[in-house]
Amino acid sequence: RLSPPSQPTTTFGFQVRSDRDKFVIFLDVKHFSPEDLTVKVQEDFVEIHGKHNERQDDHGYISREFHRRYRLPSNVDQSALSCSLSADGMLTFSGPKIPSGLDAGHSERAIPVSREEKPSSAPSS
């Protein structure tokens, strides 16, 4: 018996992982190009915004927009955050955690989204 192909449960599938060494967000943004995405850290939160203007798809015309906001763990090293977009549309935002006792600097700044040519290795849930 063949099982049907797995579909994401929501338009914007996501996964957040926080382990001892790092904090990672995987976000399915396959309908957005890097120019459509803004990633910004403000104090203890990362805000990810995507918006594209009306374009044609199989059913007519569609425009999309989303905002997601995640609280960063207090021990994430905000000076070492990174964000990349894989060829298959998976955005990966990550930051290493610093050992307790050291100070993590917190301020507002934009995080550039780099484009990768290979598909992501993020698990599809």
Domain boundaries, the chain: 14-114
Q: Is the pLDDT reported for residue 1 higher than 70? A: no
Q: How many CB atoms lie within 10 A of CB 89?
A: 15
Q: How many CB atoms lie within 10 A of CB 83?
A: 22
Q: How many CB atoms lie within 10 A of CB 69?
A: 11
The fraction of the chain above a pLDDT of 90, given in percent, is 56
What is residue 36's DSSP assignment? G
How confident is the model over 28-79, as pLDDT tens digits?
A: 999 899 999 999 999 899 999 999 999 888 889 999 999 999 999 999 999 9
Could you tell me which residues are annotated as the binding site for Zn(2+)?
52, 54, 59, 106
pTM above 0.75, yes or no: no
Could you tell me which residues are annotated as the binding site?
52, 54, 59, 106
Q: Is the CB of residue 37 less than 8 Å from the CB of residue 111?
A: no
Query: What is the dotted CATH code of the domain comprising 14-114?
Result: 2.60.40.790
Per-position DSSP letters for 43-89, written without gaps between them: TTEEEEEEEEEEEEETTEEEEEEEEEEEEPPTTB-GGG-EEEE-TTS
Q: What pLDDT, on the 0 to 100 scale, is given for residue 11?
A: 42
